[in-house]
Chains A and B, each alone.
Chain A
Amino acid sequence: DAKTTQPTSMDCAEGRAANLPCNHSTISGNEYVYWYRQIHSQGPQYIIHGLKNNETNEMASLIITEDRKSSTLILPHATLRDTAVYYCIVRFRTGNQFYFGTGTSLTVIP
C-alpha cells in the first residue's frame, strides 16, 4: 500500500471549514484513499473514502487531485467534537489490513 504524508497538527476555529491535506504521491491506479479519525482513545471511526472523484457524505467532503497524488478532507463547519486525530490511508479495496500512521491532530478552537 502507498505511503501517506500528513501534517502533524492543525488548528481550526469552531464553525469554520477544516481542510486536512494528505500526500500520497506513490498511489497506484486501483488504490483508494480512506479517511478515519480517532477521538481521544475511542475506536477509529470511518469518515469517507474515494478513488478518483470527489466524494461527499454527511460527515465530510473528500477532494482528490486529478493526478491522485494528494487529497484534502474537508469538514465544512468544524465543531469542538471534531477535535481528533485524522488518518489518511491508501489501500486497495480488497486489501487486508489498514496501516495507521501518526495522522493529523486537529484541534477545534472555540
Chain B
Amino acid sequence: EPEVTQTPSHQVTQMGQEVILRCVPISNHLYFYWYRQILGQKVEFLVSFYNNEISEKSEIFDDQFSVERPDGSNFTLKIRSTKLEDSAMYFCASRGTGASNTGELFFGEGSRLTVL
C-alpha cells in the first residue's frame, strides 16, 4: 500500500541552526501538507502546498519556515534558524485529486525535532 515517508525520523540540532525535514508523498498525490505536534499538545496545521505554491498557511508558519518541492518526489520543510519552541513532531501529509478522491489526508510517521 502506498505511504508517505519522512526523513529523518529524529533530528537533534542546536538553537539557531537550519533544519530541513524531508517527505516523499504518495506518488500520484498533488496536495501536500505539513503539521506539527508539540509534546502533549494538539496536531497543528502549518502549511499546504499545491501546484508549486503555498495554498494556505497558519500563523505558526512565519518567515522562519519555508517549503519546497525540489523535484518530482520530495517535499521539504525548512526551518531557517531553529528556536527551542520548534521542538516537536513534524508530520507530512498528502492528498489525491480527481473525482475518485474523497478528501482524506494520508500522513507520514513524523520527524521528531529536538532543539537544544
Contact = CB atoms under 8 A, between A and B. Distances in A.
Interface stretch (A4-12, A13-21, A44-52, A63-71): A44-52
Contacts of B31: 96
| Secondary structure of the B contact surface, majority rule | strand
B48 A96 contact: yes
Contacts of A93: 101-103
Instruction: Name the interface size band of chain B.
Output: 20 to 34
Given A93-B103, A97-B48, A97-B56, A43 B110 contact: yes
B102 A43 contact: no
Interface of A: 32, 34, 38, 41-46, 49, 91-102
A29 to B, nearest CB: 15
Given A98-B45, A99-B45, A42 B110 contact: yes
10 contacts: A38-B43, A41-B110, A43-B4, A43-B93, A44-B107, A46-B104, A92-B103, A97-B48, A100-B44, A102-B42
B55 interface: yes
Q: Is the interface of A mostly helix, strand, loop or mixed?
A: loop
A104 to B, nearest CB: 13
A98 B44 CA distance: 9
Given A46-B104, A101-B42, 16 more contacts: A34-B104, A42-B109, A43-B93, A43-B109, A44-B91, A44-B93, A44-B107, A46-B106, A49-B104, A91-B103, A93-B103, A95-B103, A96-B55, A98-B105, A100-B44, A102-B42
